[in-house]
Amino acid sequence: MLLDPLRIPDVAWSDPAVHDALSQRDVGALFRRIGQMVGASQTRIGAAVNLEQGYVSRVMAGRKITSIDVLERIADGLRMPDEARMALGLAPKDHSCHLDMALPPRQRQSGLPTNRSWREDLRAAAQLWEGDVNRRDVIRQVAFTSAGYTLPALRWFTAPPARAVEQAGSRSVGQPDIETIREMTATYRRLDNQYGGGHARAAVVRYLHQEVTPLLDNGRYETSTGRMLLSAVAELTQFAGWQAYDVADHGVAQLYLTHGLDLARAADDAGLGAEILAAMSHQATYLGDGATGIDLARAAGQTARRAGFTVLAAEASVMEAHGHAVVKDERACAAALHQAEKTLDRADRSSTPQWLGYFDEAYLSAKFGHCFRALGKPAQAERFAARSLRMDEQYVRGKAFNLALLATAQAQQGDPERACVIGAQALILTSRLRSARAARYMRELQAELAPHRRQPAVQQFIRRVDAVLGTRR
């Protein structure tokens, strides 16, 4: 009968077209392929997933679905196994399910997440850059999910080491090519610190697509050069993810960070891998998932300690502390902060890579301040926020963050006038930035000051924030 339960054979979930549709969250392609395989009409598919036939038709014609609730309904209606659910970016029903099941059977090996080659990692990253440059909806409408970080982190620890990274292309690749990528990355980092992630993000993505992709596709190099090349590309990919995070394109940021981690693994660059895991932790905690932030920070710390990167181990500890603060575990937060401080004290900074140059005592103080703010301890937050301002002035965005943190702590302690004075300094810097994070911190300060809105200084400050950021509805 027309509305009989839709019976999808198990083999369908191993179909390459189905897996591609799931991994790209292309529900229209998924519906079309399922319909072909089982002979199901749009009406029958709609009945199975509790959606109107007209809506199913629009999805199959190209309408994108980004709502997690709708995706969950579709997964339940199609009785997706856990491997298919995770490929779609949803949590498994059976939480003990091995995360490698999110990949097709031909990519599984001995219970490991994947035996994907470094060339496949490069190809996947290049497809991301191309899709981002061309503003494809399948890239730009990807939603962030904490579960989306679990498989890449597991793959980092358990996938076999990359084989020889060598290629016999038509163009010789040498150290000057690699140094060019690193210099471009350093230049973009300086712009990012001074003007925010939105300032040069499009330029970074175009550079990856137009300059780096041909080098990877046509390059000729042996293993030592190949690994240095992959490391440089991984760093720039990670940085592009950080820019997307700063402008609140969180799903896109997640894609870049996970591809950056895969490339760092292929390059056998443990230090960069630890830094990317720490960035993943930073994003998860910022979005309110402290538990995932803790797990990723611990993964970063374990990687850093194994590789002998003491500064990175300190960074991982403070990221873990922030996760504990978000979940209100004060004791664990204090222990992690103490560990971070001790570790940084004994670190040798003489060989710190450029991508870790920001992590110093001022940055550590700022993270302490954020932890105490999350724990509801504004006096301690104010003390560390004030200390964080003894910082390198080139980090304009970081200074805007730290000033906003200090002002918020003052507002929380019932001193709105001082908060407005410091907040005005933060607002001047924020007005020069293209940073959703900086704007969010100003909005949070504005909210803290709202109970004092009868005071003239507060009224004036709130109007100034609205003038710079736009009036909130």
Tens of pLDDT along 190-228?
A: 999 999 999 999 999 999 999 999 999 999 999 999 999
Give the pLDDT of residue 135.
77
Residue 418's pLDDT band (cuts 50, 70, 90): very high
On average, the pLDDT of the chain sits at 89
pLDDT of residue 391: 96
Give the predicted TM-score (pTM) of the model.
0.77
How high is the pLDDT of residue 262?
94
Distances from the Cα of 412 to the Cα of 99, 333, 407, 418, 452, angstroms: 43, 21, 9, 11, 11
Q: What is the pLDDT of residues 270-329, one digit of tens each?
A: 999 999 999 999 999 999 999 999 999 999 999 999 999 999 999 999 999 999 999 999
- Let me know: does 366 contact 374? Beta carbons within 8 Å: no
Take residue 235 and report the two structure tokens written for it: 């760093």
Residue 106 is predicted with a pLDDT of 38
Q: How many residues does the chain have?
A: 473
Phi and psi, residue 343, nearest 5° = -65, -45
Residue 388 confidence (pLDDT) above 90: yes
- Contacts of 388-392 with CB under 8 Å at 24 or more apart are 388/362, 388/363, 389/362, 390/361, 390/362, 390/365, 391/360, 391/362, 391/363, 392/360, 392/362
- What pLDDT score was predicted for residue 471? 67
Please, which residues bridge with residue 221 across strands?
A: 167
160: DSSP letter: P
What was the pLDDT predicted at 355?
86
Residue among 381, 403, 380 at smallest CA distance from 390: 403
